[in-house]
Structure 1
Amino acid sequence: MIILRSLVAVLVLGLISLTIVQAQAENAEIGNVEEIRVALYGTLAGGDSERLYENDHVYADELIETVKKSGALIRFLDETDLWLGASSQMTLDTFIYDPNQGTGELVAELGVGLFRFVTGNMPNENFRVLTPVATIGIRGTDFSVAVAENGATEVSVFSGQVSVSPRGGGAAQSVNPGETASVASATGSVSVSPSGLTAPPASVSAGHGTTSGNVGGGGSGGGGGGSGSCFTPETQVVMADGHLKAIWEIRVGELVLGRDGAHNKVTGIERVTLGSRKLYGFDNGPLFVTAEHPFMTGAGWKSIDPSATAEENGALQVAKLAPGDAFVTMQRSAWRLAALGEPRGLSEGALGHQKLGAIRAAAADSGTVLYNLLLDGDHAYWIVQDSATPLLQSISHTPESAAGTDKAFLVHNKG
């Protein structure tokens, strides 16, 4: 495979005197890898998957993939930048660029994942992005595309403008800065709504996790400067089929496991910044939640700051969470049974309680991006600590809470 890639590079150098770079032909160079976090892989047409490194070339019809918790930045020959978030896949079908005339065409086919484009010198009207359910036409400079496993697509614009239409045909909708377009199916319609986003997610920004500007708006919400009861991006959520997914990766239309085995549909995703609020953690675990978010305890819903919870969810009766309270929990074996509709997973005996020892708070970067789910159904979902990055590590120092990584905790959404 290395020989094949080297041979391709030699052939490209032999054509460098041409003023037109045309990447419709198989294995023509179209850009370079600028940055990698963790790992990036490329598969040339007819070849095997090969790990890529910074400064490697990428080629037409090459499948580009990131892995879990990884990311990458690719710069094309016209200076267009493409960021790929974790577990993302894309193929550049067409790339034609004449640097002398400033003309060309770019067609990108996106698979599952999170992507961000900042357009370069390619004429915007000849720049198209395709997903399984949507066609995106470019009129502006900076936008992100999130594609779920079922193809459902969300397009958020940070500057400029894009048009989004169902891939199977249908009316196109313009999307402006601060708006997000959602397309659930290739034959469906496009819905556009305010997103509050003025900057891209940190995972698809320069510097691997830095971000400029604020995502979301002002408000109170437990200290001001940000609003919304939310979790840090890597908080794990129990999906309706029993597997775990980081909250930032969840897309509109997916199903999560709710209370009593309910399957609750994600109707929206709240993305805000922390602002001047604090982040909170339990016992020796890391900081992961804001003060407003309600947790189910043996005595009902409780939050660190019930008055802030009431400002955004006045219909929910919430008391103050304090050391000594017992969180309602569910073991991994139980939530898997519940996902299958097995009564044993829903029985009272399948639920447990984990006593809270201490609550700690600390200031964090005001630009920290936080997430919450908007749901139908019973408006509840289960969060669970990630074994690699525990979010509720050693939630209590008491013997009854020895194991943490296989326990889920029931929380309420904003709805």
Structure 2
Amino acid sequence: MKTLFLKCIGLAISSRVKFLVGAFVIFLGLSVAQASQASTGTVILAKGVVTATNATQQSRVLAKGGGIEEGDVVNTANKSFAVIRMLDNTKLTLKPNTTIAIGAFNIKEGEEEGCINLVKGGLRTVTGLIGQRKPESFNVDTPIASIGIRGTDFITRICAGEECLEDENSLSFGGTDQNSQAAGVAEDINKNLPARNRLA
């Protein structure tokens, strides 16, 4: 069985399991004692069904004001979306049918680090303090590519078949289209084609 490794939190996902959100299994190379107990982020908007599964595979429904911690796997269902503000003020907007895993977030000066694993779907990122202080230390990882900072506002998608091509001119996040002239870079990771960059 082929295994894909998402480096920023030591997350291993089988290529078969990554398509089955309900059977998604996460492995963290951290003990419970090492894991941060403080909220790494806060849900500032949730529409539809938005859930999080922690490192011990306990699931919870997320609503406005809910906390997000390192190691959480956040999922949006069909016709659902969420906006999360991380502790460094990075803002994450999750498209419907999206799964992300929250990696390390450290805002201590000189030790800044931020990492998000995009497992499926689409994610808009507006970077905060980490991206401003140390942009090389903020990454969005996918099963086939690691994306470094290309600006303060960028979009990452994982597409099956030609989904990205069908959505060439705009991305819908919670009913709001991000115009093709919006700032930032869209990183389209197509499962059947090499990774490529183009304007959102």
TM-score, structure 2 normalization: 0.65
- Correspondence for 2:180 among 208, 215, 224: 215
2:121 equivalent to 1:110: no
2:98 equivalent to 1:88: yes
Deviation of 1:153 (Å): 11
Instruction: Give the 3 Å change call, closer, same or farther, for CA 132–139 of structure 1 in structure 2.
Output: same
The residue aligned with 1:410 is none
Deviation of 1:103 (Å): 5.0
Instruction: Give the 3 Å change call, closer, same or farther, for CA 92–59 of structure 1 in structure 2.
Output: same
Deviation of 1:102 (Å): 7.2
Deviation of 1:108 (Å): 1.3
Instruction: Give the 3 Å change call, closer, same or farther, for CA 75–102 of structure 1 in structure 2.
Output: farther
- Correspondence for 1:42 among 48, 52, 57: 52
Q: What is the SS of the residue equivalent to 2:61?
A: strand
Instruction: Give the 3 Å change call, closer, same or farther, for CA 126–252 of structure 1 in structure 2.
Output: closer
Q: Counterparts in 2 of 1:2-401, with a 5 A limit? A: 25-98=35-108, 101=109, 104-122=112-130, 123-148=134-159, 201-203=171-173, 208-211=174-177, 214-215=179-180, 252=190
Count residues with an aligned counterpart: 152
The one-letter code of the counterpart of 1:119 is T
The residue aligned with 1:306 is none
Q: Distance in 1 between matches of 2:112 and 2:191?
A: 36
Deviation of 1:215 (Å): 2.7
Q: Distance in 1 between matches of 2:176 and 2:163?
A: 24
The residue aligned with 1:337 is none
Q: Distance in 2 between matches of 1:102 and 1:201?
A: 35
Q: Which has the higher contact order (CA 8 A, sep 6+)?
A: 2
Deviation of 1:25 (Å): 2.1
The one-letter code of the counterpart of 1:215 is S
Question: Is the 8 Å Cα contact of residues 27 and 62 (structure 1) preserved in structure 2?
Answer: no
Question: Is the 8 Å Cα contact of residues 98 and 121 (structure 2) preserved in structure 1?
Answer: yes
Deviation of 1:128 (Å): 1.0
Q: What is the SS of the residue equivalent to 1:202?
A: strand
Q: Distance in 2 between matches of 1:253 and 1:77?
A: 32
Q: Distance in 2 between matches of 1:34 and 1:65?
A: 15
Deviation of 1:67 (Å): 0.2
Q: Distance in 2 between matches of 1:253 and 1:45?
A: 27
Q: Distance in 2 between matches of 1:86 and 1:102?
A: 35
Instruction: Give the 3 Å change call, closer, same or farther, for CA 135–253 of structure 1 in structure 2.
Output: closer
Deviation of 1:149 (Å): 5.2
The residue aligned with 2:24 is none
Question: Is the 8 Å Cα contact of residues 32 and 57 (structure 1) preserved in structure 2?
Answer: yes
Structure 2: stretches of 5+ with no match in the other structure: 1-33, 182-188
Structure with higher strand content:
2
Question: Is the 8 Å Cα contact of residues 98 and 119 (structure 2) preserved in structure 1?
Answer: yes
Q: Distance in 1 between matches of 2:139 and 2:163?
A: 15
C-alpha offsets along residues 89-130 of structure 1, whole Å, 9 cap, x if unaligned? 1111211112xx375101111101111100011121110111
Deviation of 1:52 (Å): 0.8
The one-letter code of the counterpart of 1:84 is L
Question: Is the 8 Å Cα contact of residues 48 and 81 (structure 2) preserved in structure 1?
Answer: yes
Q: Distance in 2 between matches of 1:92 and 1:153?
A: 25
TM-score, structure 1 normalization: 0.33
Q: Distance in 2 between matches of 1:34 and 1:105?
A: 22
Instruction: Give the 3 Å change call, closer, same or farther, for CA 62–149 of structure 1 in structure 2.
Output: farther
Deviation of 1:30 (Å): 0.4
